[in-house]
Structures are given as structure tokens and as C-alpha cells.
């Protein structure tokens, strides 16, 4: 127990480093003037290096070995020890020099990407991305040897613990076979109904911010422990006591920002709901990004695009914007929110095409890490994949392979978690309906606390005590089952008779 207690004390300190880095990262994206980029990159590289140094100190390995003999550890502490070992192995296998260099080059590439994407200048971005990829491959190779898995799976494990590309290939290949044909069915079915009337602006940003905050509060977001800001790319950061959300506003299309806010609110509620007694310890963290994404998609997709939610929110839209007319009716707004089309941009994609966007990125990044695809060949491979999976070809790289921030800062292995989250969200919503009964009635009344309480009990409060598979089995009765997601898509976009 003495060794274990030393580990808890050490990981509490490490957690504080992580919290500081989280806020610096948020500030980098949301508030920092462009002139501070170089200094910030150096600051974050240094802190990551110190964090890495602390995590890999020789006594940590010694404590881990001794703590493994502590038979008196309870379930939470055993799980905590498991997650400590995972974190240590990820860190100890990679030299501090490489950690700092990758952080520095990732920050440089991300800042350059912002202007290069605006100018549609892939040639200017390519050398920076190539350097990030080279360093990421180096990290992946080292970790692969330590974990006894493939280089890509070693990166995947950072975001999806115990994730396996072999299992992902089975699920994603099945979806890739299902989605193009289903998309055609939906487009044909949609063509038989009246075209939705998209509400036209301008929608003042202040009004959108007011609406966003009211929606967040309706779900139980606590503004004493969080805030909402703007950034180039919507995200949720910070830590449980200080959760930072961002979105991107367009005065021509208020739904883009509002649906983004609902998405990030799902992430924020998960962070806030993590087990209070274990905050600061690995077991008190979110159970991987797949589960994290399931929480955001639960709020945004399962609830936020349902007809019952539109019945509740339509009067609020009309009130905030002082609007009226046919385009603000429940039927029309629901058609707008569930409109399916062959879109170029992942973050704007609908439920039907979104998984195809993710599958494309998964296949490309896996090929890049394996050395089967180089940066210079990325635009052509991207365009071919988009045509195959979504049926549309990007006219430029700005809205093609340059649209996402993830690869720019070295985040390879993350993309699959988006679609894993979508599959889990559908499965969790079905389980919540089984346990709670009439969810349509609760949602239409704005009683989101019923759903939040269910998520708190079954997902949030569990932290990392269970593996992802165990978590799903306890909450839903079975491991991951893509059938729930397919049924959800058929019910929503073709009608229950097609399930």
C-alpha cells in the first residue's frame, strides 16, 4: 500500500500539470494573439517535457512494480493502478527530446495551417505536416514495440484504450458497405418531401450567444465551473472544475454554432460528471475519446436533432431572434436539422454522411503511419476517397485534406473515436429508453435532467473503473453493436417501417 499511496501522490501532481496545459491550450486556440504563438509553443513544449520527466522518473517504475503486489487494493484502486501503468508505458517508451520536439513542431504546423488553409496553399503546409508525420511515425514505432502492437494501434491506444485497428476494420468496412447505398435511399426518400426552408439571417452573434447559453443551462451546465468562447475549430477543454467550450459563429447560419454548442456541451457534462472522489487520478478521467464522443453525440444527435427536441426548442428560437413564419415551424425546422446531403466538410456533415468522413480519415492516417501514403500524395488520395464514400469530389484542398486541425498538431489515431462515439450514442440512447420509458415526452418538455441523471449514473460517475467494453455491457447489456446505429438511421431518415 505504501508504494500505491506514493503513486497516488505523484499522479496528483502530474494531473496539475495537465490542468495547466489544458488551459494554455484553450488560450492558444481561443484568446492568444497571433504574435504569442512562438513563445506559447516553447512554453507548452517545456511543460510537456517536465510532465514527461516526472512521469518517467525511475521511482515510478519501482512503485508500479511494488504496488502490483498489494492484494488489499479495492476495485477503484486496482483500476487506477491499471491506468497508471498505461500512462507510464506511453510516456516511458518515448524519450523526452522527442516529446518536446513533436510538441514544438505540432504547434508550429497548427499555426501555419490557419493561414495556409485560408489561402488554399497545401504546398506551403506540406513541409510542416511532413515533419509532424515523421516525428509521429517515430513515436508510433517506439510505442509499438513497448505495447506489442502495430504502430497505428499504439497511437490509437492513446485515445481509445485497448483499441484495435483489426476490430475497427471490421466495423468500418461494414459501415462503408452500408452507407453509400443507404445514402441513396435517404436522398430518394427526402426528395419526395417538401424542401426545407432554411431560416435566413442575419443572426447577430450576441443573440446566438444568448441562445447557446440558455441551451447549455437547460442541460444543466454550470457557468460557475465553465465558460463559452469562440475559436477556429469548436472544442471542449479545461478540466472538471473549469470546463472551457468554444464554438464558431456565422451570422448567416445560426444552427451551425448552436448544434456545435450542443455537441461540446455533451463533452462538458461528461467532464463535470466524472467521479469527484477520484479527480486528479487516472481512474477519475474519461474512459477514452470514443466514450467522450458518445456523450457529445448523445446530446447533439440523439436528442438535439430529434423531432421532440425541435418541438421544445422551436419557440425558443423564435423568441431569441424575434422571428416568425413557416420557416420557424416545427416540421420545417426538423427537416432542416435532418437534411442529408453530400457535404464536403466533416464538422458540418449530417448523421448519414459523417461516418464516411471519419472512415476516410481513418484509412488515410493509418496508411500515412504505415508509410504507405506520403504527405505529397494526400490531396489525391483524399479526393478519391471522398468520391468513393460520399460521392463528391472537393474542388480545392481548403475544403479537402486541409479542413481538419488534428493531423497538424500530430493527433493521429483520434479520428476513429468520432464514429465509435456515434455507434455508442445510439446504443446508449436505446438503453436509456429501455430504462426510462417515454423519452420523447421528457425531451419535448425540456426535462433533460432525466437523461443527464441516467448518464451520470451509468457513464460519467464510472470514470475509468471499467474498460470500454465493460462499461457498455453494464449500461446497455451488450458490447459494442453497430446494429443500434443502423436502426437509428433507418428510423430517423426512412421511418420505423424500414428498420
271's CB contacts (< 8 A; 6+ apart) are 236, 238, 239, 240, 243, 286
pLDDT at 499: 54
Cell of 219: 442541460
Report the C-alpha gap between 377 and 368 in whole angstroms.
Answer: 10
208 CA to centre of own chain: 23
Query: How does strand 236-239 pair with strand 242-247?
Result: antiparallel
Residues carrying an active site annotation: 264
Total-model pTM = 0.92
Q: In tens digits, what is the pLDDT along the chain, a chain of 499 residues?
A: 899 999 999 999 999 999 999 999 999 989 999 899 889 988 988 898 899 899 999 999 999 999 987 778 999 999 999 999 999 999 999 988 898 899 899 999 999 999 999 999 999 999 999 999 999 999 999 999 999 999 999 999 999 999 999 999 999 999 999 999 999 999 999 999 999 999 998 999 999 999 999 999 999 999 999 999 998 778 999 999 999 999 999 999 999 999 999 999 999 999 999 999 999 999 999 999 999 999 999 999 999 999 999 999 999 999 999 999 999 999 999 999 999 999 999 988 999 999 999 999 999 999 999 999 999 999 999 999 999 999 999 999 999 999 999 999 999 999 999 999 999 999 999 999 999 998 999 999 999 999 999 999 999 999 999 999 999 999 999 999 999 999 999 999 998 776 5
Report the C-alpha gap between 410 and 451 in whole angstroms.
Answer: 35
Q: Are 448 and 270 in contact (CB under 8 A)?
A: no
Cell of 52: 514527461
DSSP letters spanning 410-435: T--S-THHHHHHHHHHHHHHHHHHHH
Report the C-alpha gap between 216 and 223 in whole angstroms.
Answer: 9
Q: Classify residue 275 as left (phi > 0), alpha (psi -120 to 50) or beta.
A: beta
Report the C-alpha gap between 403 and 398 in whole angstroms.
Answer: 6
SS3 of 220-268: CCCHHHEEEEECCCCCEEEECCEEEEEECCCCCCHHHHHHHHHHHHHHH
85's CB contacts (< 8 A; 6+ apart) are 64
Nearest to 43 by CA among 28, 55, 54: 28
Query: How does strand 226-230 pair with strand 242-247?
Result: parallel
Report the C-alpha gap between 421 and 485 in whole angstroms.
Answer: 10
Amino acid at each position: 500500500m505504501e508504494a500505491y499511496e506514493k503513486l497516488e501522490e505523484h499522479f496528483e501532481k502530474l494531473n496539475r500539470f495537465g490542468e495547466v496545459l489544458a488551459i494554455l491550450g484553450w488560450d492558444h486556440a481561443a484568446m492568444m494573439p497571433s504574435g504569442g504563438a512562438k513563445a506559447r509553443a516553447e512554453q507548452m513544449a517545456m511543460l510537456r517535457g517536465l510532465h514527461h520527466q516526472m512521469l518517467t522518473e525511475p521511482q515510478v517504475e519501482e512503485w508500479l512494480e511494488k504496488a502490483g503486489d498489494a492484494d488489499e487494493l479495492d476495485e477503484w484502486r486496482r483500476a487506477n493502478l491499471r491506468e497508471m501503468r498505461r500512462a507510464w508505458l506511453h510516456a516511458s517508451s518515448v524519450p523526452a527530446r522527442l516529446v518536446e520536439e513533436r510538441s514544438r513542431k505540432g504547434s508550429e504546423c497548427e499555426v501555419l495551417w490557419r493561414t495556409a488553409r485560408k489561402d488554399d496553399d497545401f504546398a506551403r503546409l506540406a513541409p510542416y505536416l511532413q515533419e509532424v508525420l515523421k516525428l509521429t511515425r517515430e513515436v508510433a514505432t517506439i510505442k509499438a514495440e513497448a505495447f506489442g502492437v502495430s504502430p497505428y494501434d499504439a497511437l490509437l491506444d492513446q485515445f481509445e484504450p485497448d483499441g484495435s485497428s483489426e476490430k475497427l476494420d471490421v466495423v468500418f468496412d461494414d459501415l462503408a458497405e452500408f452507407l453509400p447505398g443507404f445514402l441513396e435511399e435517404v436522398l430518394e426518400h427526402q426528395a419526395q418531401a417538401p424542401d426545407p426552408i432554411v431560416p435566413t439571417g442575419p443572426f447577430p452573434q450576441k443573440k446566438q450567444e444568448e441562445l447557446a447559453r440558455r441551451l447549455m443551462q437547460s442541460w444543466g451546465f454550470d457557468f460557475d465551473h465553465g465558460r463559452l468562447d469562440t475559436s477556429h475549430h469548436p472544442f471542449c477543454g479545461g478540466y472538471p472544475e473549469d470546463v472551457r467550450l468554444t464554438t464558431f459563429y456565422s451570422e448567416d447560419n445560426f444552427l451551425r454554432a448552436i448544434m456545435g454548442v450542443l455537441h461540446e456541451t455533451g463533452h462538458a457534462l461528461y467532464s463535470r460528471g466524472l467521479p469527484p472522489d477520484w479527480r486528479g487520478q487516472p481512474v477519475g478521467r474519461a474512459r477514452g475519446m470514443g466514450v467522450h464522443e458518445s456523450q457529445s453525440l448523445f446530446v447533439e444527435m440523439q436528442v438535439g436533432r430529434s423531432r421532440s427536441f425541435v418541438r421544445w426548442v422551436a419557440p425558443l428560437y423564435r423568441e431569441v431572434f424575434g422571428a416568425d413564419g413557416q420557416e420557424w415551424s416545427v416540421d420545417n425546422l426538423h427537416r432542416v436539422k435532418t437534411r442529408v446531403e453530400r457535404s464536403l466538410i466533416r464538422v458540418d456533415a449530417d448523421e448519414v454522411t459523417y461516418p464516411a468522413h471519419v472512415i476516410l480519415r481513418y484509412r488515410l492516417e493509418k496508411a500515412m503511419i504505415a508509410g504507405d501514403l506520403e504527405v505529397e500524395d494526400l490531396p489525391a488520395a483524399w479526393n478519391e476517397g471522398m468520391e468513393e464514400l460520399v460521392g463528391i469530389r472537393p474542388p480545392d484542398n481548403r475544403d479537402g485534406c486541409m479542413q481538419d486541425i488534428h493531423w497538424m498538431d500530430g493527433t493521429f489515431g483520434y479520428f476513429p473515436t468520432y464514429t465509435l462515439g456515434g455507434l455508442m450514442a445510439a446504443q446508449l440512447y436505446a438503453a436509456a429508453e429501455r430504462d426510462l420509458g417515454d423519452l420523447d415526452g421528457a425531451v419535448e418538455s425540456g426535462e433533460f435532467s432525466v437523461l443527464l441523471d441516467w448518464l451520470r449514473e451509468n457513464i460519467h460517475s464510472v470514470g475509468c473503473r471499467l474498460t470500454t467494453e465493460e462499461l457498455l455491457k453494464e449500461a446497455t447489456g451488450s458490447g459494442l453493436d453497430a446494429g443500434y446505429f443502423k436502426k437509428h438511421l433507418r428510423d430517423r431518415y426512412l421511418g420505423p417501417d424500414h428498420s
